[in-house]
Amino acid sequence: MRDHVPPSERPLLATHTTPSAQDRPSQAGAAAAMDLTEASAAGAAPGASDVDADLDVIIIGGGPAGSACALTLARQGRRVLVLEKAAFPRFHLGESLLPYGTTVLRRLGVLDAVAASDAVVKRGAEFCSTDPSHFRRVDFVSRDAERADYAFQVERAQFDALLLEQAARAGAQVIQQARVTDLILAADGRVRGVVYVAHADQAPQRVTARWIVDASGRAGVIAQRFQLRQANPRLRMVALFRHYTGCDERANPGVQGDIQVGYHADGWVWAIPIHETVLSVGVVTARDALPAQNPMTGADQVFAEHVGRIPRIAQRLPAAPPPPVRMETDFCYGCQQAWGPGFLLVGDAACFADPVFSAGVFLGLATGERAGQTIHDLLDDQEATASRSVARVQAQMEREAAALRAYDRFLKTGFDTYFRIIYGFYAAGCDFRQYLKWRLGRVADANYWITRTLAGDFWTAENPITTDLRSERAWDTLAPYDPLYGCPVYGDAPRSME
C-alpha cells in the first residue's frame, strides 16, 4: 500500500481553546451580529465575553460534510470555526467511497493526501448472491475526462481525521471535543451562534458567526431542534457489522479493492477491504429481524446467518475468532427543508438513505462543498451591499433567500435521486438491467448509464435512468421540489453523447 501522509506542520487542536481569528484577515464586512439581541435557545447564559463576533461561519461537526464545507470556505479566506464533539481519529461507518466523490476531493485540494494515505483504491463494485456462480461487476471505467474511474475504500477514522486536518491547514479553526449543546437565536429568530461545551473545562462557551452550518451527521443538532426531519418509513433498517483483521485482499475472489454487495431474500451484506488485511463486513436487514427490546441479543446469530448466505463473502473470513458485532439502527430519514434563517444543513444532518450504494460520504462532500460556496457568495454579496441604501439591502435579502432555496433544491435533488435509485433497484429484484427492461425497454448505451448511476450521477437531467426514477410519483420522498442539477462532476453543460 502507500505511504502515510507526512505529519501536519500545524497539528489539529486536540483540546479546547477559545477561538481567536485575529491572525487572519476577514473578508467579511461590518454586517456582524452584534446589533442583534442574542438569546440562548434553552436558557444557558454563559458570559458575553465568550462571544466572538468575527467569525464568518461556524460548522457543527467535523465529518466529511463539515470538512468539505470548511475547506471550501477557508480556501477562499473565510473565517471558519469547526466544532467537533469527538476527539479524532474516531470510529465511523461509511467506508466505501464513490468515483464522483473523487472529483470533489480533487477540487477540495485533498485528493493527493487521500491517495497518499492507506486508502485502498476501489475500481468497481461486485454484486453477488446466494449462488456463488452468480455475480456481476460494475467497473467504474470512464470514457469521459471529467469523471474519475476509481474511488477509495477508507478507514473512516483516518479519512475523516485527514480531511479535518486539511481543513485546519487551509485556515479553519478546529476545536475537537467541543460539543454543541444549544443554539443562539437573534430576536428575529435567526440562528446567530452556538453554545458548546469543551471537554477540557466543561464551562459552556458562546460563539457567534454570520452563518451556521449543521454538519453534525445523524445527531442533526439544528435539524432536530427545528424538527426538519422525517423518518423514512420505506427504509426501516438495521446494520450489524464488524472489522475482520488478518485477512488477505489477494484472496478476494473478484477484483482486489472492489466492494462486494451480496443480496439475499432478507437484505444484503457488504464486504469492504479498508486495508490490505482488514475487511469491513456488514449485514443490513429489516429492523424487525431483531427483537424490538434488546436487539443486540439476536445480533450475532443474524450476522452469522446472513453472511453465511453469501458464499463469495463468507469464504473470505479468517478462521480466528472475530471481534464483537456492532449495530446501527433507524438511520434512514429525509428533511423538509435544508436551510433556515442563518443556517444550512449538509450531509447526514439533512438526510440519509440505505447505504447500499455507498453514497453517504459523496453526498456529504457534495452538499458540504455547495453549502460552503453558497455562503461564500452570500457573504460577498452582503459585503458589497453593506452601508448602501435600504432598497439595495432589501434586494440583497431577496437574493439571499433565492440562494438558500437553490441550495435546498440542490440538496434534495441529490438525496432524492439516491433514495429513488434504491427504491428502483429493490423493486427490480436488485438488478439494474431488469430495471431498464421493466421501465424503459431498450436504452442506448445502457452500461454507460448504469456505471454513471452507480458512480454518483445524482445531479443531471441527461441520465435516462435517474430521469425515469424521478418521474415515479410512488417513490416521492422529499417532493415536492424542483430539481436543481449542477452536477459536481459534469456541471450543467449539455454534452454530446456520441
Ligand X SMILES: Cc1cc2nc3c(=O)[nH]c(=O)nc-3n(C[C@H](O)[C@H](O)[C@H](O)COP(=O)(O)OP(=O)(O)OC[C@H]3O[C@@H](n4cnc5c(N)ncnc54)[C@H](O)[C@@H]3O)c2cc1C
203 contacts 330 by C-beta, under 8 angstroms:
no
Q: Give the range of 351-359, 402-410, 418-426, 472-480 binding ligand X by CB under 6 A.
A: 351-359
Q: Is residue 281 at the binding interface for ligand X, with CB under 6 A as the rule? A: no
- Choose, by CB under 6 A, the member of 56, 95, 118, 249 that binds ligand X: 95
Cell reading at 394 = 432589501
Q: Is residue 372 at the binding interface for ligand X, with CB under 6 A as the rule? A: no
By C-beta, is 186 or 198 nearer to ligand X? 198
- Choose, by CB under 6 A, the member of 52, 54, 56, 84 that binds ligand X: 84
Q: Considering only CA atoms, which of 65, 160, 153 is closest in space to residue 365?
A: 65
Q: For the CB of residue 308, give the shortest distance to ligand X in the complex, in Å.
A: 19
What 3-state DSSP class applies to 459? coil
Q: For the CB of residue 293, give the shortest distance to ligand X in the complex, in Å.
A: 21
d(CA 89, CA 92): 9
User: Could you give the string, one character per residue 324-343, with x where binding to ligand X holds by CB under 6 A and - elsewhere?
Assistant: ----x--x------------
Q: Is residue 99 at the binding interface for ligand X, with CB under 6 A as the rule? A: no
Q: For the CB of residue 254, give the shortest distance to ligand X in the complex, in Å.
A: 17
Q: Considering only CA atoms, which of 237, 41, 144 is closest in space to residue 455?
A: 144
Q: For the CB of residue 478, give the shortest distance to ligand X in the complex, in Å.
A: 16
Site residues for ligand X, 233-262, by CB under 6 A, read: 239
By C-beta, is 283 or 443 nearer to ligand X? 283
Cell reading at 79 = 473565517
188 contacts 96 by C-beta, under 8 angstroms:
no
- Choose, by CB under 6 A, the member of 19, 46, 66, 424 that binds ligand X: 66
Residue carrying C-alpha cell 428575529: 188
188 contacts 205 by C-beta, under 8 angstroms:
no
Peptide bond into 273 cis (omega under 30): no
d(CA 263, CA 443): 25
Q: For the CB of residue 288, give the shortest distance to ligand X in the complex, in Å.
A: 17
User: Could you give the string, one character per residue 35-64, with x where binding to ligand X holds by CB under 6 A and - elsewhere?
Assistant: -------------------------xxxxx
Tell how strand 237-244 and strand 326-329 pair up: antiparallel
328 contacts 231 by C-beta, under 8 angstroms:
no
- Choose, by CB under 6 A, the member of 86, 128, 151, 174 that binds ligand X: 86
Q: Is residue 204 at the binding interface for ligand X, with CB under 6 A as the rule? A: no
By C-beta, is 326 or 439 nearer to ligand X? 326
Other CB atoms closer than 10 Å to residue 324's CB: what's the count? 8
By C-beta, is 407 or 436 nearer to ligand X? 407
Site residues for ligand X, 416-445, by CB under 6 A, read: none
Angle of the 446-455 helix axis to the 432-440 helix axis, nearest 10: 120
Residue 490 DSSP label: T
285 contacts 298 by C-beta, under 8 angstroms:
no
Residues linked to residue 284 through DSSP beta bridges, in sequence order: 239, 268
Q: Which helix (H) or strand (E) holds 419?
A: helix 390-427
By C-beta, is 368 or 382 nearer to ligand X? 368
Other CB atoms closer than 10 Å to residue 131's CB: what's the count? 10
Residues binding ligand X: what is the number (CB under 6 A)?
A: 40
- Choose, by CB under 6 A, the member of 40, 72, 176, 216 that binds ligand X: 216
By C-beta, is 92 or 309 nearer to ligand X? 92
169 contacts 10 by C-beta, under 8 angstroms:
yes
**What CA–CA distances, in Å, run from 417 to 191, 262, 352, 446, 479?**
29, 22, 12, 18, 11
- Choose, by CB under 6 A, the member of 14, 93, 395, 428 that binds ligand X: 93
By C-beta, is 28 or 302 nearer to ligand X? 302
Q: Considering only CA atoms, which of 301, 306, 266, 314 is closest in space to residue 283?
A: 306
By C-beta, is 68 or 443 nearer to ligand X? 68
By C-beta, is 184 or 221 nearer to ligand X? 221
Give Cα 467 to chain centroid, integer Å: 23
By C-beta, is 239 or 325 nearer to ligand X? 239
Tell how strand 204-214 and strand 343-345 pair up: parallel
Residues linked to residue 240 through DSSP beta bridges, in sequence order: 283, 327
Q: For the CB of residue 287, give the shortest distance to ligand X in the complex, in Å.
A: 12
- Choose, by CB under 6 A, the member of 361, 371, 404, 484 that binds ligand X: 361
Q: Is residue 347 at the binding interface for ligand X, with CB under 6 A as the rule? A: yes
Q: Is residue 454 at the binding interface for ligand X, with CB under 6 A as the rule? A: no
Q: Which helix (H) or strand (E) holds 117?
A: none
User: Could you give the string, one character per residue 162-181, with x where binding to ligand X holds by CB under 6 A and - elsewhere?
Assistant: -----------------xx-
Q: Give the range of 20-28, 133-141, 319-327, 347-355 binding ligand X by CB under 6 A.
A: 347-355
Q: For the CB of residue 58, give the shortest distance to ligand X in the complex, in Å.
A: 10
Query: Could you list the residues that contact ligand X (CB under 6 A)?
Result: 60-66, 83-86, 92-97, 179-180, 215-219, 221, 239, 282, 328, 331, 347-349, 352, 355, 358-362, 364
